Chains A and B, each alone.
Chain A
Amino acid sequence: MSIEIQGLTKHYGATRAADGIDLALGDAVKVLALIGPSGGGKSTLLRLLGGLERPDAGSIRIDGKEVPHDEETLRVWRRRNGFLFQSFNLFPHLTALENIVLPLVEVHGWKRDEAGERAREVVARFGMSAHLEKHPVQLSGGQQQRIALARAMAHDPALLLLDEPTSALDPEMKAEVLDLIEELCQGGQRIILSTHEMGFARGSADAVVFLGGGKVVESGSATDLFDHPQSAIVKAFLGKVMKW
């Protein structure tokens, strides 16, 4: 997918979450990883890309199409994409199955039985068939995140946006979820994710963008950025996080 971002700015009060982001990525990029320190602007950029927030200034084009500005068209934009959050955000009053079926029926206009079939298919692929009728509280963090991923995936999103999908999980569950995401990458799914998993970013992403202070500090292919970082900030950051 091609991504062009120009002068993207978003302030929350005095916090400059996006402070004039410029970025241009070519068509070859299928999986894009956003890395950098917490509070550097990764989540904000993801939300702007996904149409969950509106920028104060600037524009985003994905595959030549500009992310819309009015609520009505933004909703259409959001429906085409899939979004996964750090804290799972499943609906606690619905079973795992209903969590996936509800958006298919109510947002995408599927028939209930078709939606049910599709949900079972995705869940089976994610190894979660035994847990379809459970409510989120009955599931572990990793299981919840897999169901949330199934929900974000079920309608074949044009673009999958993952906001630190494994940050709230313990190491074993992290691995389970990362395996699934890796599998989606292999399957050709277009993904933009923010992550602190440097190994994953390096192994699976076609391009990596380092965000700090609401700006793009450095961007490039995974090998370039991890093996030959140019800026002192990225060098220092990688030095710290790769140390252990």
Chain B
Amino acid sequence: MWKAALSTFVSVVLLTTFIFVVWVVATHDYRWEAIAPYRNNLVSGWLVTLLISLASLFLSVFIGALLTAGQLSGHRLPAFLCRVYVEVIRGTPLLTQILIGYYLIANAIDWHSSLGVGIVVLSCFSGAYLSEIFRGGIESIPSSQWLSARAIGFTGAQTYRFVVIPQAVRRVLPASAGQFANLVKDSSLLFVISVHEFTMQAREANANTYATFEAYLPLILGYFLLTFPISLLSRHLERRYRYEH
């Protein structure tokens, strides 16, 4: 009885809110012609965001895997250093990391490509989160599997390659996909070092035309076009790796 009442209540609230939002957004008096000249800028910004996302995705997986390996290495110093890295990165704002990375660290080694530095900083940031996801996945493999691999005569490397990682991959997919979607959205903060990505182009278009909604609404579609395929791919892979039936 109370279950039915609760689900009706939730449905009504969600539906009403949704209809209200769509109505407000749809009935706004838009000036699309004001933003039209910035069309190409928005497209190029979207492509830059796509490039940053793809590059950071691969680099952050690599960094995440290294950090996980360091933490699980069984050697105290690397484990400690990786732990400190992960805690510092996760405990401080990305915005600050981007500023320090570009204006202090990259500057000190005379590297002035804001796009390049942006990709690296973003990957270092996302890699810290991924390493925690990876570590959780590996530690969730039951000890009976390790024992069995040992009894068969596998080396440590073989145990990871044939037994642990194939099973861990499926377990970390959903959380990793979430992190990749965050990565795409977090790339919008790179405007502070004037990377001409998607959000930066929308800000510029807005600044020049005062057509705020016309400039920012395309962001919804643009970012969703990037994050939704990640979600679909993750579901697809999860199904492929499902060996329970």
Q: Does the CB pair A91–B145 fall under 8 Å?
A: yes
Selecting from A9-17, A99-107, A177-185, A226-234, the interface stretch reads: A99-107
Question: Cβ of A85: which chain B residues have Cβ within 8 Å of it?
Answer: 144, 147-148, 151
From B154, B241, B243, A106 is in contact (CB under 8 Å) with B154
Q: Does the CB pair B154–A93 fall under 8 Å?
A: no
Q: Which B132-147 residues have C-beta < 8 A from chain A? A: 144-145, 147
Q: Which residue of A lies closest to B154 (CB)?
A: A107
Question: A124 at interface (Cβ–Cβ under 8 A)?
Answer: no
Question: A210 at interface (Cβ–Cβ under 8 A)?
Answer: no
Best-buried of B147, B162, B244 by chain A (most CB within 10 Å): B162
Considering the chains assembled together, what is the distance between the CA atoms of A102 and B155 in angstroms?
13
Question: B231 at interface (Cβ–Cβ under 8 A)?
Answer: no
Question: B163 at interface (Cβ–Cβ under 8 A)?
Answer: yes
Number of interface residues of B (CB under 8 A): 20
Map CB proximity to A onto B232-245 as digits: 1 under 8 Å, 0 otherwise.
Answer: 00000000010111
Map CB proximity to B onto A30-63 as digits: 1 under 8 Å, 0 otherwise.
Answer: 0000000000000000000010100000000000
Question: A223 at interface (Cβ–Cβ under 8 A)?
Answer: no
Question: B188 at interface (Cβ–Cβ under 8 A)?
Answer: no
Question: Cβ of A196: which chain B residues have Cβ within 8 Å of it?
Answer: none
Considering the chains assembled together, what is the distance between the CA atoms of A102 and B152 in angstroms?
10
From A87, A91, A93, A103, B153 is in contact (CB under 8 Å) with A103
Question: Cβ of A52: which chain B residues have Cβ within 8 Å of it?
Answer: 147, 150-151
CB distance from A86 to the nearest CB of B (A): 10
Q: Does the CB pair B147–A89 fall under 8 Å?
A: yes
CB distance from B160 to the nearest CB of A (A): 12
Q: Does the CB pair A89–B154 fall under 8 Å?
A: no
From A76, A78, A89, B144 is in contact (CB under 8 Å) with A89
Q: Which B188-245 residues have C-beta < 8 A from chain A? A: 241, 243-245
Question: Cβ of A106: which chain B residues have Cβ within 8 Å of it?
Answer: 154, 158, 162
Question: Cβ of A107: which chain B residues have Cβ within 8 Å of it?
Answer: 152-154, 158
Q: Which A113-167 residues have C-beta < 8 A from chain B? A: 135, 137-138, 151
Knowing A106-B158, A107-B153, A135-B244, the reply to whether A93 touches B148 (Cβ < 8 A) is no
Chain A interfacial positions (CB closer than 8 Å to B): 50, 52, 75-76, 78-79, 83, 85, 87, 89-94, 102-103, 106-107, 135, 137-138, 151
Knowing A89-B144, A91-B145, A93-B166, the reply to whether A50 touches B151 (Cβ < 8 A) is yes
Question: Cβ of B245: which chain A residues have Cβ within 8 Å of it?
Answer: 135, 137-138
Considering the chains assembled together, what is the distance between the CA atoms of A234 and B151 in angstroms?
31
Given contacts A78-B153, A83-B152, 18 further A-B contacts (CB under 8 A): A52-B147, A52-B150, A76-B153, A85-B144, A85-B151, A89-B144, A91-B163, A92-B244, A93-B241, A93-B243, A94-B243, A106-B158, A107-B153, A107-B154, A107-B158, A135-B244, A137-B245, A151-B152
Question: Cβ of B155: which chain A residues have Cβ within 8 Å of it?
Answer: 75
Q: Does the CB pair B150–A137 fall under 8 Å?
A: no
Q: Does the CB pair A79–B153 fall under 8 Å?
A: yes
CB distance from B107 to the nearest CB of A (A): 47
Best-buried of A50, A75, A89 by chain B (most CB within 10 Å): A89
Q: Which residue of B lies closest to A95 (CB)?
A: B243
CB distance from A193 to the nearest CB of B (A): 14
CB distance from B144 to the nearest CB of A (A): 5
Question: B167 at interface (Cβ–Cβ under 8 A)?
Answer: yes
From A78, A87, A135, B152 is in contact (CB under 8 Å) with A78
Considering the chains assembled together, what is the distance between the CA atoms of A85 and B142 in angstroms?
14
25 example contacts (A-B, Cβ-Cβ < 8 A) are as follows: A50-B151, A52-B147, A52-B151, A75-B155, A76-B153, A78-B150, A78-B151, A78-B152, A79-B153, A83-B151, A83-B152, A85-B147, A85-B151, A89-B145, A89-B148, A90-B148, A92-B244, A93-B166, A94-B243, A103-B152, A103-B153, A103-B154, A106-B158, A106-B162, A137-B243
